[in-house]
Amino acid sequence: MTLAVGFLLAAGVLLIASPWLWPRREPSRATARAPFAPLADLLARAGVPTVSPLVLIGVIAITGLAGGALTLLLVPVVALAPVAAVLVAAVPLLVLRGRAATRRRALRAVWPDVVDHLLSGVRAGLSLPQAIAALADSAPEPVRGPFRTFRRDYLRTAQFTECLDALKASLADPVADRIVETLRMAREVGGTELPSVLRSLSHYLRADAAVRAEVDARQSWVRTAARLGVVAPWIVLLMLSTRPEAAAAYNTPGGAVLVIGGLLATLVAYRLMIALGRLPEEGRWFR
């Protein structure tokens, strides 16, 4: 009876806290169209938009199975196989997220120059599509490819809105979203304030990049400690599992519970450490 009352109280507390733990979110248009939209967005942010999300899922599954099988062959502890499968399966996602973060940091340094080139084109009397197309030759090298595609598509179709949508999708960056939506509004609404808006945006992007670079350098030790805290216990566990008496202990039900509990604790601690050391990132605009 006491146990049932405890479960009911816990369920009540969970239901009360559920609006804050799992807030309702309206699905975006991209999510409604594609069942693997988060994976597709991750691939785009990592700079490999041509890779299919299904290919990524296949790589994750094969990597996890290979990691679990190899661990079971090398270490005679059954409970370590699913743990290794989960950890190894997460490696492709971690690599993509690291690549996306590196790409975002690299692009953050070039966006002020892109805005300055746009401002120069507008001041020189170019139309907005011409100023954007000119970035195919004058923009910094990391972003010239998408602007070349924009120029080719616009010369072929003359559909400015559709070409802007394709440009935003290929750049896959929050700052690019802001710039593209600013240009779209300037095209649709008109007015003479675009140069001053672009000038203010350039100043803001430079100040934001400088602050983020400084804080990111200071917070790097948090990420290093989180990765070390994740890897070190499992290395020790693998070394202990090579001894027959330790392997026999971990193959018991209590040992399996200990290993699975350690996996859960590791994942929770890693997420907390990363959350503490991460700066808030801007979200994508109007995807």
Domain boundaries, the chain: 110-191
Q: What pLDDT score does 94 carry?
A: 86
Instruction: Specify whether the CB–CB gap between 47 and 103 falls below 8 A.
Output: yes
Q: What is the pLDDT of residue 26?
A: 46
Determine the Cα–Cα distance for residues 42 and 46; give it in Å rounded to an integer.
6
- Of the listed ranges 9-13, 69-73, 264-268, the least confidently predicted one is 9-13
- Residue 244 reports pLDDT greater than 90: no
> Residue 280 is encoded by which pair of tokens?
């808030």
Crossing angle between the packed helical segments 144-157 and 128-138, to the nearest 10 degrees = 140
Which pLDDT band, with edges at 50, 70 and 90, does 2 fall under?
A: low
Q: Of the ranges 71-75, 100-104, 217-221, which one carries the lowest mean pLDDT score?
A: 217-221
Are 132 and 148 within 8 A, CB to CB?
no
Q: Mean pLDDT score of the chain, rounded to an integer?
A: 80
Q: Please report the pLDDT score of residue 283 as a whole number.
A: 65
pLDDT at 62 over 90: yes
pLDDT at 67 > cutoff 50: yes
Select the highest-mean-pLDDT range: 2-16, 204-218, 265-279. Answer: 204-218
Please tell me the pTM assigned to this model: 0.67
